Structure 1
Amino acid sequence: MTPYVIYARKSTESEDRQVLSIESQVRELRGLAVRRGIAVSDVLTEAKSAKAPGRPIFGSLMRRIRRGEVRGIICWKMDRLARNHLDTGALLHALAEGKLTEVITSDRTYTQDGNDRFMGSFELGMATKYIDDLRANVKRGNRARFLRGWINYIPPIGYQNDLATKTIVPDPERFDLVRRMWELLLTGAYRPEQVLRTANETWGFRTKKGKRTGGKPLHRSMLYRMYGDPFYMGIIRLRSGETFPGAHRPMVTKEEFDRVQEMLGRPGRPRPQKHEFPFTGL
């Protein structure tokens, strides 16, 4: 008898918002198996998105198929099995090789037959394209937000999200203290380590407390990251290096920011060097 398994999947992400719950899928698929006279050897469930490879339950299922332990899958729709190119390819290859005899869904059966495999590849291709389109829409939405001067990530130290207006505003508890950190360095009398010690030990500076992190003294790496972030002069910089004018209140001027980069010897902004030559001053 051909070993069949039920596979049900639903993630908490947006692409699965309208999909039946895992429990409902299993109930419907058990009924489908009974109507078809199929004995199910196992029920596999997975609460994980299929937009990227690496699902442990699906990976285990494919290994069992390659070993000949499973020959048929019963699932609600083909997109429950795969929504990325790698998993789609593995599934179709198993069908083409005969390792997988058939995939039974709520409205169709996909076998080794060429027409069935074509329809299976079409359904899986549409599922993958949906994810590709979703990613493209997110990128477009993010870019539009950047062009308006807003960001889609946690603001740097000294700023916070205003949930009511969906804007970035100064953090009333930390904005002025962070500004003083810039001012201390700009005097030329303080090294970054001295600024850090002053902020943490003298001023009692603590990072903004979240659900799991924060509420701690400023770390050295955070201070250096702050001094190198153009956000503080009103510029949003993406990981790609692309920049956009921000809609938030700048903390420092461009001249002040550039001066700090020179003082810290940032790449592209050489640190002024003092050379002593023979006969200097004669």
Structure 2
Amino acid sequence: MPPNGRPCTKAQADVRPRAALWAFIFFIHMSLIYSLYCRTSSLREDKQTLGNPAQERVLLEEAAKKNLKIGRKFIEKQSAYTTGRPEFNEMLDQIEKGKSNAIFTYHLTRLARNSFDGGRIIYMIDQGLIKEIRTPEKIYTDNSDDKFLMQIHFAMAKKSSDDTSQFVTRDVESKLLKGEYPGMVPIGYLNIDKDGNITKAQKDKDKYLILLNLGRPLKREEIDPVDGQIVRRFFEEAVKGGRALPALRKMSFALGLRSRKAGKILSRKAVWNLLTNPYYYGAIEYNGKIYTENIQHEPLISKELFDRVQDVLHGRARGRYRKHAYAYGGCIIRCGGCGGPVTAERQKGVVYYHCTGNSGACDETAWTREDLLDQQFLPIITNFSIPQNFLKFAFKKVRILYSQETQVSEASSRKLRKEYDTHKQRLDALLQLKLSSKNIDGNLLSDDEYLAQKAVIKKEMQDLEELLHSRNSEDLIWIDDCERFFDFTQSIAKKF
């Protein structure tokens, strides 16, 4: 009986408990602070899942409809197949600190695909740290049925990931046994799809037209007609030695090598990985194992050149880079006293030769002028001549080398000019945006932002101009020097 002493009707008796229940539910609902969690992965498990921006949009629209209180957003792109997701762990740490007590996500599979993370979530529900997990389709709370369903979802997600992992492993092993690279090939090569086209990530119309001129069906892995020649040249320069990794990095940029994703200068790690990748001599390294059988792609360099580059990189060889060029340098003469190598030095414009003493104590301590050595070599050179047949053979080889050198230089220059044109288009687009009628108040691009972006683009264009100028002025007419040298050898004694 109510306090006023009047008996209540049956309808009133039914309404009051229900009103109290709804009030309690409303209180619980208003006390929930949700952590919004979105996740996508590059693995096959998420091929049919919305991207993070789409997930976030759906969740925020749902939160607005249901008047949900969102505390903080946690968004990441990482597989949930293994533990160690930074944003996910941060979200659970925040919940343990009491900064939120519920999770709002697109689907339970976004939260966990491994047994540890799934078990941790359910344990936190048991401890009362997580009051509710909500998706657009269902709400999961601390009751046996909901937790049982969550365990089923997590188990099914893990089973799906395990199956995917097995399929990927089998696919990779199958490719390796067939001699194919299981992924995007290194710089200097192109992936060709089953229809005979360059894959989208590497698509280039000019390169494709060059490949068509080969007059044969394209392999699944083809040498890049532009970057391939540049990579080969890069190996040939690296084997000379005398350059540390930073210098090699600058050289790769000058030749025209760029990162595929950002189009920027290669990092030190990328340069090191390029020069130590056995793929270039016709092998495939995967998970620490090198495969050499049934290799489908054509090598860019020889195994001998690759090994010599490794010796230079690991300090086992000094390379063949020389700072000075002397007539009798390079150890072509030996000391008459101890048989050790002879070195040269320039003193007051005069070149002198003397024993290095590397073979031990030597009695020959005097230095010999270069003109005196000339007189000693003259009797030998007088009887020296190069057969005409050999000269024809040598000059033919020189022309082939010159042709290859010219192709590399032209390919590198074309790539640099194309990059320069792209920067010019970016600069024009930036100016159009600045002068646009929609940017009168500078709401799209302020003066400071315009000047800052313009300075960056202009600096990159200036660097490219310098590279193009140096390449255009580069002395590639060394074949003329070879012709003059061969002519010189025919009358060397007279001209000596």
Q: Tell me which interval the TM-score lies in, with the shorter structure as reference length.
A: 0.5 to 0.7
TM-score by length of 2: 0.41
Q: Over aligned residue pairs, what C-alpha RMSD do you find?
A: 4.5
C-alpha deviation, 1:92, in angstroms: 0.8
* Cα deviation 1:69-122 (Å, max 9, x = unaligned): 544445553223333444323211111212223435556554433443233222
Structure 2 counterpart of 1:236, from 284, 300, 304: 284
Structure 2 equivalent of residue 11 of structure 1: 40
Between the two structures, name the one with larger relative contact order (CA 8 Å, sep ≥ 6).
Answer: 1
Which stretch of structure 1 is more off in the superposition, 41-50 or 117-126? 41-50
- Separation in 2 of the partners of 1:16 and 1:91? 21
| Residue number in structure 1 paired with 2:226 | 173
Inter-CA distance 223–118: structure 2 relative to 1 (3 Å threshold) = closer
Per the alignment, residue 40 of structure 1 pairs with 68
Percentage of matched positions with identical amino acids: 22
Deviation at 1:266, TM superposition (A): 6.2
Distance in 1 (CA, whole Å) between partners of 2:159 and 2:59 is 23
Matches within 5 A, 1:10-89: 11=40, 13=42, 15-19=45-49, 21-22=54-55, 23-27=57-61, 33=66, 40-42=68-70, 47-49=75-77, 51-52=79-80, 53-54=84-85, 56=87, 58-59=88-89, 61-68=91-98, 70-73=100-103, 75-89=105-119
User: Does residue 1:251 correspond to 2:300, yes or no?
Assistant: yes
Q: 1:192 to 1:249 in 2, by over 3 A?
A: farther
> Is the 8 Å Cα contact of residues 103 and 132 (structure 2) preserved in structure 1?
yes
Q: Secondary structure at the match of 2:184?
A: coil
Does structure 1 retain, via aligned residues, the 8 Å contact 2:115–2:158? yes
Aligned to 2:142: 112
Greater helix proportion: 2
TM-score by length of 1: 0.65
Give the deviation of 1:236 after TM superposition: 0.6
- In the alignment, the residues of structure 1 paired with residue 236 and residue 311 of structure 2 have an alpha-carbon distance, to the nearest angstrom, of 13
- Tell me how far 1:234 sits from its aligned partner: 0.9
Question: Which deviates more from structure 2 when the two are superposed, residues 163-172 or residues 20-29?
Answer: 20-29
Structure (1 or 2) with the larger CA radius of gyration:
2
Following superposition, the deviation at residue 227 of structure 1 comes to: 4.9
* Residues matched between the structures, number: 258
The match for 1:150 among 146, 162, 180 is 180
Matching residue of 1:36: none
The CA distance in 1 between the partners of 2:297 and 2:175, in whole Å, is: 13
Seen in structure 2, the aligned counterparts of structure 1 residues 108 and 65 have a Cα distance that, compared at 3 Å, is same
CA distance in 1, matches of 2:269, 2:134: 54
Point out where structure 2 has 5 or more consecutive residues left out of the alignment.
1-26, 200-219, 318-357, 362-496
The question of whether the paired residues in 2 share the 8 Å contact of 1:179 and 1:252 is answered with yes
Distance (whole Å) between structure 1 residues aligned to residue 118 and residue 234 of structure 2? 53
**CA deviation vs aligned residue, 1:132-163 (integer Å, no higher than 9, x gap):** 3333333333333333323213414x433346
